[in-house]
Amino acid sequence: MVVKYLLGNEAIAHGCLEAALDTAFGYPGTPSSEVIDTLRTWPDRQSYVEWSVNEKVAYEEALASSWCGMRSIVTMKHVGLNVAADPLMTSAYTGVKGGFVVMSADDPFAHSSQNEQDSRCYAAFARIPCLDPSSVQEAHDMVRDAFSLSEEFLLPVLFRPTTRICHSKSDVTLGEVAALDRQASFEKDPRQYVVIPAHTRVLHKQLNEKQASLKKRLVESGYNRSTIRGKIGVITGGIAASYVHEVVSDSVSIAHIGAYPIDEEWLSGFIRSHERILVVEELAPVIEEVSRQVAGLVPILGKKTGHVPYEGELSPSRVAQYLKAADIPVKLDYPVIQPPAGLPVRPPILCAGCMHRTAMYAIRKVFRDGIFPSDIGCYTLGLQLGVVDTTICMGASITVASGMAQAGEKHDIVCTIGDSTFLHTGIQGLLNAVYNDANITVVILDNRITAMTGHQPNPTTGVTASGVERPAVSLEMLCRSCGVSFVETVSPSDLVQFTGVLKDAKARKGVKVIIAKQPCVITERRAKINRGKYRVSSDICIGCKACIKFGCPAIELHSGIALITDLCSGCGVCTQICPVSAISLEVKE
């Protein structure tokens, strides 16, 4: 045993290694990404680790590995589980062989996500167990044990940490990393793995028959536990359980839910020992709904009575507030901290020197009355530049654009999508748009990396998660093979050339693809590429604010004159915008 101060995702990765993980597959997405990053960079790594092109691909690969008897994990963020939902639902029927853990990291408060969906609902929908840790230590222990649980019931196990678990740091007691000794071997059994209707009906019955023993097992494991102290009780789970334990009075009973499905008989016994119950959980009322089903005449307070919100992230202070509102005593009373009045709003913006800004600046200039569907990635921050009109989910920019075009929208429609997102689920939209002759312009913002989630490689990068060099996929050839005849690749840093290509596309009908290709500015900085810095000649600057309107955070206005700060990365695009040539490369004497 050794104790280390670790990030939640690092502790989760270590738990996998202690369980003798054989294979790991994932698609990057905050807050889940560091698990694969930790596994792939582990010294003397024996397991196979892969960044896959999307969550469905990753899930099916991990499932197949399990079918071969290997212990496997697939990682993603909560919205990624939507992409993998198809194999998820059916894999509950087919079952697994080697331990198979599905890590779907939820993001209450949508810190970096497009919604706040609750992965526990997916586990209930699929009828598979779900483990919901309340601390970093518990996340480590749970994921380690999840592989055995999966093998015991021959089911996928959904592991659901939240942002506050994944990205918190804590002392964690670790075990030894286990050596690997399994050999992959697939045993043919069509009745188990071929889901034709005749087999499916049998498998569905078998899945249902596992539920009762599964519920009992989760109580026996200690994941679901209770302490009775008085006539008032709180039922809680996940990270909310840590907050409740911290603030509630010692005179109040607590039922701690760490795993699903919940054994109704056990829960009923706890509830009926009390006069009143408050359920505290983040997001969906999963615990509360089960509690109400078994409560009898005992009042259940929670989301449905307005005592706890349906949305947002909880905290110790918020939990204390809800307890007091429900007339439940607390031992600690956290003050609600308000930010000082008058602080300026600082929305997130693209990095200084980011090529996405230049591409969007040019799009806005050429397509002044255009409509701009966009996608998931750094470039969603183009919202601040007025070049993002819609964002739904991964890969939706092209399909939304073609849907608008087919609906008869008369304005020019220009959609933007990143290279990783295009490979994730954009290709199908492009195929469909071309085949059905949509009139749209597609700009693929190709920065050669999956930037927003932490610079994970993708097939345009030319290197795998393990650092093995592979031929980079050609987006040009890919688009042409989809039937696109107008495909142009150009660097947006050449504003004149890039604008000319946009104008050319605007003059044509059908699907046009422009690949705005330039490495991510952070990647270049890490590669120690130094392009120098630019400066403004104050005696030439006329204070027209043309460079300010470009939106680069390295350019400020002081006393009516533009100033370039140390944030400058040397892209030089501002020199192409300035109407009086007041900006030039700084020359060090």
pLDDT tens digits, 419-457: 999 999 999 999 999 999 999 999 999 999 999 899 999
H or E element, residue 318 = helix 316-325
- Give one DSSP letter per residue of 376-438, joined into a string: SSGGGGGGGGT---B--STTHHHHHHHHHHHHT--S-BEEEEEHHHIIIIIHHHHHHHHHTT-
- 230 near 277, Cβ under 8 Å? no
Does the pLDDT value for residue 530 go beyond 70? yes
Residue 581 has pLDDT above 80, yes or no: yes
What is the token pair recorded at 486?
């107008």
In this prediction, residue 348 carries a pLDDT of 85
* Residue 415, marked binder: no
Is 574 one of the annotated binding-site residues? yes
**Residue 121, annotated ligand binder?**
no
- Residue 415, pLDDT score: 98
pLDDT in tens, 38-57: 999 999 889 999 999 999 99
Backbone angles phi, psi at 448, to 5 degrees: 70, 20
User: Where residue 335 falls among pLDDT bands split at 50, 70, 90?
Assistant: confident
Three-class DSSP category at 526? helix
The arithmetic mean of pLDDT across residues 563-567, rounded, is 94
SS percent in the chain: helix, strand, coil, step 5: 40, 20, 45
571 among annotated binding-site residues: yes
Contacts of 301 (CB under 8 A, 6+ apart): 276, 277, 278, 279, 307, 308, 326
Residue where the block lists tokens 């590429």: 529
137 against 1, higher pLDDT: 137
pLDDT of 318 > 70? The answer is yes
Mean pLDDT score, 551-572? 93
- Pairing mode, strands 259-260 and 130-131: antiparallel
List the one residue out of 362, 365, 399, 360 whose CA is nearest residue 380. Answer: 360
Strands (E), 287-384: 300-301
Pairing of strands 253-257, 224-227: antiparallel
* Model confidence at 166: pLDDT above 80: yes
Mean pLDDT taken over the chain: 96
Q: How confident is the model at residue 179 (pLDDT cuts 50, 70, 90)?
A: very high
Was 351 annotated as part of a binding site? no
By the 8 A CB rule, do 136 and 242 touch?
no
Instruction: Give the closest residue to 206 by CA, choosing from 188, 186, 191.
Output: 191
- Assess contact for 119 and 130: CB atoms under 8 A: yes
Q: How confident is the model at residue 238 (pLDDT cuts 50, 70, 90)?
A: very high
**Domains in the chain, CATH or no CATH each:** 2-221 (3.40.50.970), 224-326 (3.40.50.920), 355-527 (3.40.50.970), 534-585 (3.30.70.20)
Is residue 240 within 8 A of residue 262, CB to CB? The reply is no
- Residue 75 CA to residue 397 CA, distance in Å, equals 24
Is 547 among the annotated ligand-binding positions?
yes
Instruction: Give mean pLDDT, residues 326-353.
Output: 87
Residue 136 belongs to what H/E stretch? helix 136-153
Task: Give the Cα separation of 421 and 395 in Å (integer).
Answer: 6
Tens-digit pLDDT profile for residues 200-209:
999 999 999 9
Per-residue pLDDT, 414: 98
State pLDDT tens for residues 486-502: 999 999 999 999 999 99
CA angle 144, 145, 149 (to 5 degrees): 140
Does residue 309 have a pLDDT over 80? yes
Q: How does pLDDT run across 113-154, given as a tens digit for each residue?
A: 999 999 999 999 999 999 999 999 999 999 999 999 999 999
Query: Residue 589 — pLDDT band, cuts 50, 70, 90?
Result: low
The first and second tokens of residue 570, run together, are 């040397």
- Left, alpha or beta for 306 (phi > 0: left; psi -120 to 50: alpha)? left
Residue 337 in this model has a pLDDT that exceeds 90? no
CA dist., res. 499 & res. 577, Å (int): 12
Please tell me the pTM assigned to this model.
0.94
